[in-house]
A and B are shown apart, each in its own frame.
Chain A
């Protein structure tokens, strides 16, 4: 029987209350969102907090809203809500793509976007998605709020720049014209973590790629972002030759390891192939040539 080691439990009633609780408890205190990464880790003693602060009652962090220029997503928004949101699908079909293949529907009832990003697992799909979309994340602490780009959230695997005493409260995604995005993942079986996955976003202007985002999941790419591939796309007319060049650069820049999900050379091959497919679909969507549902 897998049971976590002993800990004390507190339930926060508001963001301010959660901040107070964090302050009054020691550094070995963790926030508990959906618990679908943290509790399995605690069962295996890979995490051993002395105190958990349950934030599931913070409905103020469970929202999806757009204010014209950006889509704002509360940290406690569940995978399920993201998967089913029409507003999300309209602006960022990459999120809908990813949510269809993150875990399974029952896990998606509990897991949250904030927990996903703060878990900082290199195989976490939403980290790649948010990086690709140039998201900003809002972090609240005792001294107020700070906003940082998604790519600065992760310090490394399982490590973030959210300090003890702070809470990730919100994810902000810029809504820009001419946009199309897509996510492509290959897994061993339904509901599994990625063998490899790629996210792509393009912003077209006058038939050219004004800007592009390319990200990779689970293949050891620094910060999950393929910067050289993005540069290769900028200013070019979209087409298979340009995508192939971007895919080649992304595959070159990643550093997959061989494990039970597959050998490194296979994963590198997948990385390139999935970047190409994601770019094709993202572009078709930007041009209105594919329905986003």
Chain B
């Protein structure tokens, strides 16, 4: 069947089997391997992408269900050669070690900051509670998101 969606601002169309999961469509059909694929059981959150601005686990969404929708992956976070403040925060505050969970964590953080530009540590922890990190112990992830929230570009975006 034919699917057509916007991925990182660009039209993506392809012929896929109805059973194709969004995670495999992104990784294999479009070659966007920044979205990771882990537990395959909706538990770990490494496959998180944004669909219409909200985080979803792409191992549990069919590509067919995403057809007609707007999908953002980690590859789409950078704007005009400028890393998203969230990405900068993860670099500055050691928000990652192996990087396996990182794209999902950053996208969830982006969606959180879009709704709530100044989240508390508890709100950050709640937002990422469906995603597992085996390396950092989460403390540096929370710090990274706080860093991004305090970033001038983020505060400007929040003010407009």
Contacts and interface: CB of A to CB of B under 8 A. Distances in A.
Contacts of B42: 36, 40, 107
A218 to B, nearest CB: 18
Interface stretch (A1-9, A85-93, A144-152, A172-180): A1-9
A3 B19 contact: yes
A11 B43 CA distance: 27
A5 B20 CA distance: 10
A7 B20 CA distance: 11
B89 interface: no
A105 B45 CA distance: 11
B4 to A, nearest CB: 13
Contacts of A109: 54-56
A220 interface: no
Contacts of A64: none
A103 B108 CA distance: 16
A54 interface: yes
Nearest to A44: B41
A32 B19 CA distance: 13
B60 A9 contact: no
A5 B17 CA distance: 11
Given A109-B54, A109-B55, A104 B64 contact: no
B77 interface: no
B130 A105 contact: yes
Given A105-B129, A107-B130, A6 B56 contact: no
Given A6-B17, A106-B57, A110-B61, A191 B40 contact: no
B19 A106 contact: no
Contacts of B153: none
Contact of B45 (A9, A35, A106, A190): A106
B62 A103 contact: no
A75 interface: no
Contacts of A54: 62, 64-65
Contact of A7 (B18, B41, B56): B18
Contacts of B73: none
A106 B131 contact: yes
A236 interface: no
B62 A35 contact: yes
B121 to A, nearest CB: 15
B141 to A, nearest CB: 15
A3 B21 contact: yes
Interface string A53-88: 010100000000000000000000000000000000
A43 interface: yes
Contact of B40 (A8, A43, A105): A43
Contacts of B57: 106-107, 110
Contacts of B54: 109
28 contacts: A2-B41, A3-B24, A5-B19, A6-B18, A9-B18, A11-B64, A32-B62, A32-B65, A35-B65, A36-B60, A40-B41, A54-B64, A54-B65, A56-B65, A104-B129, A104-B130, A104-B131, A106-B108, A106-B130, A107-B42, A107-B57, A109-B55, A109-B56, A110-B60, A190-B129, A191-B43, A191-B129, A191-B130
Interface of B: 1, 17-19, 21, 24, 40-43, 45, 48, 54-57, 60-62, 64-65, 108, 126-127, 129-131
Given A106-B57, A107-B60, A191-B129, 12 more contacts: A3-B19, A6-B17, A9-B64, A11-B64, A35-B61, A40-B60, A56-B65, A104-B129, A106-B48, A106-B56, A107-B42, A110-B56
